Structure 1
Amino acid sequence: MNKIYVLIVLLALTALSCKKSFIELAPEDQVSGATFYKTEAQFRQALAGAYVPLRDLLDNDFYTGEMRSDNTHYEFYQINRGTAYTYRENIADFTDDPTNSYTNAIYFHCYTGIARVNTILGHIDGASLSETAKDDIAGQAKFLRAFNYFKLVRYFGGVPLFLEEVTTADEAFLPRATAEEVYAQIIADAQDAIARLEAPAFSNDQQPGQATKGAAAMLLAEVYMTQKKYAEAEALLLSLNGMGYDLLPDYADVFSTAHKNSRESIFEVQYMQGLQEGQQSNFIYRFIPRTSNTTVLTGLRYNNSSIGGWNTPTQDMINAYEAGDTRLDASIGMAEGTYNTSNMFTLSANKSIIGYTPEPGKTGVPYIKKYLHPHTDPNNTDDNWPIYRYADALLLLAEAQNEQGKGGAALAPLNRVRARAFGNNDHDIVTTDQAALRDIIAHERRVELAFENHRWHDLVRTGKAIEVMNAYGAALKQQYDYLSPSTYQVNANRLLLPIPQSERELNPDLTQNDGYPQ
């Protein structure tokens, strides 16, 4: 009997030992979530990963930030009516719904970035890092979380507010916070980022491509402008003057791959050409007409028929430039050629838009020239995407000052931007009438920041979106017979995008924005 008892005890101990090893989820000889967040190098690796979703976000943001505005449209491709085409067209035409995968992508990519940031912030306080390293890493993380929530709240209104790493299923399903609650968190994160981060460190007129005190200040200033807190925004924008930022002498140089992260750059999303998947950009291949051979424009042969034809500058946008404004030629080029019966373009020439007249029998199609630069491999470019520039800050400053009745002060930053555009001060604005200056500054922001995903947000922020987009849509429907009467019916509901239907199916607590299927 004693032998049997001992055997039972041994078996029980063995079972307990096996059970203990079975539930051990953090093997010490392998990197895991439980063992990774220890060193500064590991935290910086995780921080780099938190920047990556910005690239995915930018792959969709021009549909909602530019094509949903009067700046750009699309080439209608009548032979393919699949959702890859119609969903993107629906965004521009204001007929999108909660199943649209491109508006939904904005939502998902923002939350991917937020989740990665929350994991970093959840581990950093207990890590054995220097306070300097902690401030820098946490400050960048707070900037990224604020940036992503600012993108979400402007596009979707109040959204679920995740502020900690999700570790259980119950934590993954939150109801929508109010827009006011989301803005309060954005402000808190941005203020903390400003306090923690250093000003940009320029070397040979360039800086590392990461968030700095200046980026956080610019973000918070735009938040305050959205909330019409003009004095608070003005103070932050004035603080940028002492951080080393400046306008580059030549407008076209701002977007050149030779001037990445320049003194004019406050924050830009980083891309790098090469064979490393996901690091390269390809904006120019998306923005030129669909063609079987891109050589005439890009210098490299590529069939972009499955990805091109989007974000095409409108005639309304072209007409917005004043005579002598060098930004027109730097921003928009003309692809010349012919369309076949399948609406595919054969390129024959790349021409300047200045004084352009098509050759007999040819068609000229405008394209965004800002992102056309030499590169080695087709559909694989080195262009970064500008998020915040010093010119943007100067124009926001002019707007903030004008809204406070400081028209005289607003002229200096406004005319500083215009002087570069025209090469002299002959086109300086002199009026200090608030209403007139308000329209002038809005126009200046449109042409200065064209094709950088600001136009839609500016229209909404200034209360002009419904008026401008309905008038623009009415004119567009006179031009294109493929636009149905249901397009461009813009009302207050359409100022927000719909909450993704797939998210609402998973989380019944998520309500839908007004005007969309409930």
Structure 2
Amino acid sequence: MNKNIIKVCSIAFAASFLASCSDSFLEEKKDNNNVNKEVYNDFTGAQLRVNSIYGECLPNPSSVSGWNNNCTGLASDIQAKATEEYCGMSGSSEQSFVNPLYELDALTGNVVPDYFTNEQKHLSNVWGRIRNINDVIAGLEGCTLSESQKNQLLGQAYFFRAWCYYQLVKWYGGVPIIKEVQETSPSSFTPRSSAKDCFSFIISDLDTSAKLLTDATTHGGWSGENWGRVTSGTALALKGRVMVLWASPMFNRANDQQRWKDAYEAIKESLPVLNACGYDLYTGTNDVNASAFATIFGQTKNCEDVFVTLFNTEDPMQSGEAGDKGKNNYWENNIRPANTNNRTGGMEPSAMIVDMFPMADGKLPSSASTYNKLEKSSFEYDRNYPFMNRDPRFYRTFAFPGVRWAYNGDASQGGVNNNPQDGANYALWNYVWYTNQDDAGNVESGEAYGADNLLKNKKGLYVRKRTSDYDLGSSLYVYNSGYSRGAFARSASPFIEIRYAEVLLNYAEAACGAGHMDVAVEQLQKIRSRVGYTAENNYGLPANLASDQATCMSAVLLERQIELAYEGKRFDDMRRWMLYDGGATKVAGAPDTWTLTGWGGNTCQWLGFTPLNGQRRERMEFRVADKYGVGGTTYESDPLIKAGVSRCQPIDLRKPLATQQEQLKTWYQENLVRKDNKGDGRDSYHQDLTISYRAKYYFLGFSLGAMNRNDARLKQTIGWSDNRGGTGTFDPLAETSK
């Protein structure tokens, strides 16, 4: 391509979204925002412009949520930390959606997250992304490419414009709708549109995307190096998610049935298109202990990958072009224990989600204090042995002392000889001991040391979800125990933003909301059958789901929580359904139309769900039994080693669990004690703090920085202060903008 066609900016973007893309594609991953319109008359140049959109917009599982990234499940993400999945409240200098001591504010103190503008720099701004997409759309619509070439590129651009607006609307309700590149001038101003108009705009863009991509993608989807690009099915899957959001209580306070019916029909009609694009529920072969479910996350080109970010194993720390090629997924590096030389030490789930996960019969433990309309399990749940008789997905979601978690590598290569050496036979033994007995009984003490050289860098339990599991034939990483970013940092595992299972769950939710509970139940059965549930026990589902709408919806939301755990979806679900307070709390200055009149005026009561507000999340660990005394601070001072205790065989998920579980339980009984430690914060008097998600957080206001960077005519959201000494007047629930 003639170099004078494109004026390449000095900023290099990682726009290579394909794990298996060609070297030439990887070498061209530059930002080409500043272009001459003639570039669109050349397919390669036009595709480079579209590729730049991918680089700016694809979800990044290695980063926390922000203006440019949605939540992907990281333990450090403030959205994930506002759910049952993790525990811990940020301090006064950090943002938190659930800390009762520090309220998020638009002006001072704990400033509300800015998902609206972020920075004044054009390329570091959500509106810069949208401007770039609008420029691409305009350039493609006026170019001389063939109709088929033009359509496949335009379809991708329309999808990402809708994606960007979806990310804004789910936070702010109504935002300015900008369809064309605007000239930068003081007089240029676009007011906030109503949420209704924004949803219509997003849906229109997704319909346009699906139509334009039909010829290119509905004959099996993209192939070769283009696999991973969005398709007609991707557009319709996002449309389904968007329409379910519009029908949910957060936006639909009166439970307008037409919204549910529209969502139901749209998703129903989309399923054949998704199938034509090559998407389906992945079931695998010879499933053992939810192995098919686990395989999805460590495999490329899986049929469940509806909207996916792909990666490669190139080293981004190399200089020059070699480093520019690197695009790694750090998830594996984030979840693996420290004694595998991952550098981060793993991510720790809360005891709350571990204890409430379903049992082997598909029903909640009898001790679960939420989803109270659903049947409880016939299996006894003993919290001292949380691995006993659980839903098969439990073992693919969490790791605990005494479970095999193999990988392709040798942690001793990094010069730390006490680390378990044989990755192919790695088992996690993360029990702990204390150096004095007082700490062993103190819930606030962190003075525990972990076995197998974990020492201070240990977790009570680990998040295992989305691992690249060696025992499933997956090792999409270049293991290097001495690599400065961590042994697993160079990973090519994909991140799946929309799975086909989510499409079915969206369908189930819309069907239930529209009164088609029988259809909702069918989708739950499909998802549960993949992990081993059968018709013999009704797939572990209550018998009354097809006749009781509230119980059915409760079952759908539970299935979402379990199936999509640690995929970055739970916070959005909790906001949509107002599960912090049931929607019963009033927002200062809000009109009567904000009052929840559908669902009996309280979603939590209607669902039988215990509001998260007022609860605490704790951590759990397994310490050595008192009879072994205390230990020291070194690997050799493990009290069990000193006592000559032999370990039982770790649970191997390639084999049936029944006997293995009993053996591990016996070993726990003899050697370990469960200890619950402080998870969420305590005040200066050591009194427990409980979760407090303010009602005004359902619709965020603009931060002071965002208001200062925008026209004074841009209205603040109701419930939030503006930068002129007043209060917000924009109503996200109004039918029209004023």
Q: Does 1:418 align with 2:528?
A: yes
- Which residue is equivalent to 2:572? 457
Q: For 1:388, what is the secondary structure of its paired residue? A: strand
Deviation (angstroms), 1:235: 2.8
Give 1:96-495 correspondences, 5 Å limit.
96-98=104-106, 103-104=113-114, 108=118, 110-170=126-186, 173-198=189-214, 199=217, 201=220, 208-228=227-247, 229-238=259-268, 239-241=270-272, 242-243=275-276, 244-249=278-283, 250-256=292-298, 259-274=299-314, 275=316, 276=323, 279-286=327-334, 295-296=338-339, 299=340, 301-304=341-344, 312-324=348-360, 325-334=391-400, 358=431, 360-361=433-434, 362=450, 364-373=459-468, 374=475, 375-376=477-478, 377=480, 378=486, 379-425=489-535, 426=537, 427-429=539-541, 430-431=543-544, 432=546, 433-467=548-582, 471-476=611-616, 479-480=678-679, 482-484=681-683, 488-495=691-698
Q: What is the aligned counterpart of 1:497 among 689, 700, 714?
A: 700
CA offset at residue 155 of structure 1?
Answer: 1.5
Aligned length: 458
Please give the alpha-carbon distance, in whole angstroms, between the structure 1 residues aligned to 2:6 and 2:129: 28
Q: Aligned in 2, Cα 1:207/1:38: closer, same or farther, shift over 3 Å?
A: closer
Q: Residues 428 and 348 (structure 1 numbering): CA distance in 2 closer, same or farther, change over 3 Å? A: same
The 3 A distance-change label for structure 1 pair 101 and 120 is farther
Question: Would you say the 8 A contact 1:64–1:103 is kept in 2?
Answer: no
Q: Aligned pair in 2 of structure 1 residues 246, 511: CA closer, same or farther (>3 Å)?
A: same
Deviates more, 1:317-326 or 1:369-378: 369-378
Q: 1-side partners of 2:35 and 2:430: how far apart?
A: 61
- Quick one: distance in 1 between partners of 2:117 and 2:85? 23
- In the TM superposition, residue 368 of structure 1 has moved relative to its aligned partner by 2.6
- Separation in 1 of the partners of 2:173 and 2:358? 36
Structure 1 residues 381-404: Cα deviation after superposition (integer angstroms, max 9, x where no partner):
222221111111112212222222
Deviations 1:51-71 (A, max 9, x none): 112356652233254222222
Q: After TM superposition, give the deviation of residue 184 of structure 1 in Å.
A: 1.8
Which of residues 90, 93, 105 is equivalent to 2:99? 93
Question: What is aligned with 2:718?
Answer: 514
Give the Cα–Cα distance (whole angstroms) in 2 for the partners of residues 159 and 335 of structure 1: 48
Q: Is the 8 A contact 1:206 1:260 kept in 2?
A: no
Q: Which residue of 1 aligns with 2:621?
A: none
Which secondary structure state, in structure 2, belongs to the residue aligned with residue 317 of structure 1? helix
- Per-residue deviation at 1:295? 4.9
Q: CA deviation at 1:179?
A: 1.7
Contact (CA 8 Å) 1:54, 1:269: kept in 2 or not? no
How far is the alpha carbon of 1:165 from its aligned partner? 1.8
Q: In structure 2, what is the Cα distance between the partners aligned to 1:55 and 1:102? A: 24
Task: Looking at secondary structure, tell me which structure has more helix per residue.
Answer: 1
Could you tell me which amino acid in structure 2 is paired with residue 211 of structure 1? V
TM-score (norm. length: structure 2): 0.56
Distance of aligned partners of 1:470 and 1:416 in 2 relative to their CA distance in 1, 3 Å threshold: closer
CA 1:471–1:208 in structure 2 vs 1: closer, same or farther (change >3 Å)?
same
- Tell me if structure 2 keeps the 8 A contact 1:57–1:105: no
Deviations 1:138-175 (A, max 9, x none): 11111111111111111222222222123323476533
How far does the alpha carbon of each residue in 1:434-482 deviate from its partner, in whole angstroms, 9 at most, with x for none?
A: 1111111110011001111211222222343434799434331785473
Q: Which amino acid aligns with 1:387?
A: E
Cα gap change, 1:207/1:122 in structure 2, threshold over 3 Å: closer, same or farther? Answer: closer
Q: Once the two structures are aligned, what percentage of the paired residues are identical?
A: 20
- Kindly tell me: are residues 101 and 163 of structure 1, through their superposed partners in 2, closer, same or farther at Cα, counting changes over 3 Å? farther
Structure 1 stretch displaced more, 315-324 or 147-156: 315-324
Structure 1: how far apart are the matches of 2:400 and 2:179? 47
Q: Distance in 2 between matches of 1:495 and 1:97?
A: 14
Change (3 A) 1:97 1:38: farther
Residues 1:55 and 1:205: Cα distance change in structure 2 (over 3 Å)? closer
- Superposition deviation, residue 124 in structure 1: 0.9
Q: For the Cα contact (< 8 Å) 1:206–1:262, is it kept in 2?
A: no
Do the aligned partners of residues 481 and 247 (structure 1) sit closer, same or farther apart at CA in structure 2, a change above 3 Å counting? Answer: closer
| Of 29-38 and 368-377, the range deviating more from structure 2 | 29-38
Cα deviation, 1:353-378, whole Å, max 9, x if unaligned, reads xxx99355546433332343342253
Rate the CA distance shift 1:399–1:302 in 2: closer, same or farther, 3 A: closer
Tell me how far apart the structure 2 counterparts of residues 284 and 498 of structure 1 sit (CA, whole Å). 35
Instruction: From the superposition, tell whether residues 492 and 51 of structure 1 become closer, same or farther in structure 2 (CA, over 3 Å).
Output: same
| 1:57-92 superposed Cα distances (whole Å, 9 cap, x missing partner) | 65223325422222223597xxxx795xx23xx245
Report if the CA contact (8 A) 1:70-1:316 is conserved.
yes
In 1, distance between residues paired with 2:359 and 2:695? 35
Relative to structure 2, which stretch is displaced further, 53-62 or 387-396? 53-62
Decide whether the 8 Å contact of 2:399 with 2:461 is kept in 1: yes
Give the Cα–Cα distance (whole angstroms) in 2 for the partners of residues 318 and 205 of structure 1: 40
The one-letter code of the counterpart of 1:404 is: A
How many angstroms apart in 1 are the aligned matches of 2:533 and 2:190? 53
Q: Could you say what secondary structure the match of 1:313 adopts?
A: coil
User: Structure 2 regions of 5+ residues with no counterpart?
Assistant: 9-33, 72-76, 119-124, 248-258, 284-291, 317-322, 361-390, 403-417, 421-425, 435-449, 451-457, 469-474, 481-485, 583-603, 619-677, 723-738
Q: Secondary structure at the match of 2:715?
A: coil
Offset at residue 29 of structure 1 (A):
9.2
Counterpart of 1:12 in structure 2 is none
Partner SS, residue 72 of structure 1? coil
Classify the secondary structure of the residue corresponding to 2:701: coil
Which range is displaced more, 394-403 or 487-496? 487-496
Provide closer, same or farther for how the CA distance between residues 30 and 504 of structure 1 changes in structure 2, counting only shifts above 3 A. Answer: closer
**Is the contact between residue 113 and residue 144 of structure 1 (CA under 8 Å) also seen in structure 2?**
no
Measured at CA, do residues 491 and 203 of structure 1 come closer, stay the same or move farther in structure 2, by a change above 3 Å?
closer
Q: Deviations over 1:310-361 (max 9, x none)?
A: 6x4222222332123221111222489xxxxxxxxxx978767xxx993555
Q: Is the 8 A contact 1:197 1:212 kept in 2?
A: yes
Letter aligned with residue 114 of structure 2: N
Deviates more, 1:442-451 or 1:197-206: 197-206
Q: Secondary structure at the match of 1:164?
A: coil
Q: CA RMSD in A?
A: 3.5
Change (3 A) 1:135 1:179: same
Superposition deviation, residue 111 in structure 1: 3.3
Q: Measured at CA, do residues 397 and 247 of structure 1 come closer, stay the same or move farther in structure 2, by a change above 3 Å? A: same
Partner of 1:15: none
Does 1:69 pair with 2:83?
yes
> How far apart are the structure 1 equivalents of 2:58 and 2:462?
22
Deviation at 1:210, TM superposition (A): 1.3
Offset of residue 180 of structure 1 = 1.9
AA aligned opposite 1:321: F
Which amino acid in 2 is paired with 1:499? F
CA distance in 2, matches of 1:71, 1:385: 19
Shifted more, 457-466 versus 396-405: the winner is 457-466
Matched AA of 2:493: D
C-alpha distance in 2 between matches for 1:517 and 1:105: 17
Residue identity matched to 1:33: V
Change in 2 beyond 3 A, CA 1:213/1:417: same
